[in-house]
Amino acid sequence: MVRARRFGSVLFFLLVWEAASQSGLVPEFFLPSWSAIARQAWVDTASGQLPMDIALSMFRALAGLSMAVLVGVPLGAAMGRVRAVRWFLDPLVSIWLPAPKVTFFPLFVIWFGFGSASKIALIFVACMFPLINMTYLGTVNIDRYLVWSARNMGTGERKILWKVVLPAALPQVFNGLQIAFPVSLIVTSVTEMLGGGGGVGASMMESARFALMPRVFVYLIVLAVVGALSMSLMARLRRALLQWHEEAQAGR
């Protein structure tokens, strides 16, 4: 029932859009008809341009996000477990977490050039701090009795980290991932718009420069669909991996 309602609202929106464009109520230059957008999508797909742009953008986003996970989660766990690490990193995270990372792109271009390296590096930085912060919150807020019980049974600190602390903190780690994933897509698109070098953002900017409005909307829709599918995938992955956790048990 809920899915049918959602599908109905989307269908109604598309019909109103098509009618407004075809009737001339809204100039097609500002709002191309869905038929024109579909034709352009077919042309770009048949030529291979659209699939290549999507693949390149997703490679950049996932490469930066993967590096952020590999660095951010251990650093966040270390912040929660080691006072010296928390003392050193807490001011840096407090400053960098709210900072608009995209504004540092010119600096990254100087350091890494206009290719994929500068974009991936900025995606890495932008995604790392939410992951550090959420992992830290997850590790410091776990039930202390779990840690005390493990210690009383003679479990070493390293095993406590991997067998007790990180599993208990997984919901917060996933919260960090669900923040970082959209951030990776946003930073990818913006850096491609600013720096070129192919990808969805660069092609959309080039299309806008030449007033190819149906093509602009094709790429806008692609970004929206990729974002929605990514968030849906993250939610499904979270449910699948956290079935054993008290968070999942409470939701049943």
Q: Quick one: how far is CA 113 from the chain centroid?
A: 23
Q: Does position 131 have pLDDT exceeding 90, yes or no?
A: yes
pLDDT bracket for residue 3 (50, 70, 90) = low
Residue 1's pLDDT is what? 58
Residue 169's pLDDT is what? 82
Once rounded to an integer, what is the mean pLDDT over residues 221-240? 87
Once rounded to an integer, what is the mean pLDDT over residues 49-68? 95
Residue 236's pLDDT is what? 87
Once rounded to an integer, what is the mean pLDDT over residues 155-173? 77
Q: Is residue 174 part of a domain?
A: yes
Place of tokens 């490469």: 63
Q: Is residue 14 part of a domain?
A: no
pLDDT digits (tens, 9 = 90+) for 84-115: 888 998 888 888 888 888 888 999 999 998 88
Once rounded to an integer, what is the mean pLDDT over residues 183-203? 92
Q: How many structural domains comprise the chain?
A: 1
Q: Does position 252 have pLDDT exceeding 60, yes or no?
A: no
Q: Is residue 26 part of a domain?
A: no
Give the least confident one: 58-67, 114-123, 143-152. Answer: 143-152
pLDDT digits (tens, 9 = 90+) for 170-182: 888 889 999 999 9
Structure tokens at 225: 């669909």
Share of the chain above pLDDT 70, in %: 91
Q: Does position 9 have pLDDT exceeding 70, yes or no?
A: yes
Q: Give the Cα separation of 121 and 227 in Å (integer).
A: 21
Share of the chain above pLDDT 90, in %: 42
pLDDT digits (tens, 9 = 90+) for 39-56: 999 999 999 999 999 999
Q: Is residue 10 part of a domain?
A: no
Once rounded to an integer, what is the mean pLDDT over residues 200-226? 92
pLDDT bracket for residue 64 (50, 70, 90) = very high
Residues 6+ apart with CB under 8 A from 165: 77, 80, 81, 139, 142, 147
Q: Is residue 118 part of a domain?
A: yes
Q: Is residue 3 part of a domain?
A: no
Q: Give the Cα separation of 104 and 68 in Å (integer).
A: 17
Q: Is residue 4 part of a domain?
A: no
Q: Is this structure's pTM higher than 0.95? A: no
Closest CA to 208 of 3, 19, 30: 30
Q: Is residue 15 part of a domain?
A: no
Provide the CATH number for the domain around residue 177.
1.10.3720.10
* E-only strand ranges, the chain: none
Q: Give the Cα separation of 128 and 71 in Å (integer).
A: 7
The more confident residue out of 34 and 117 is 117
Domain that holds residue 112: 34-251
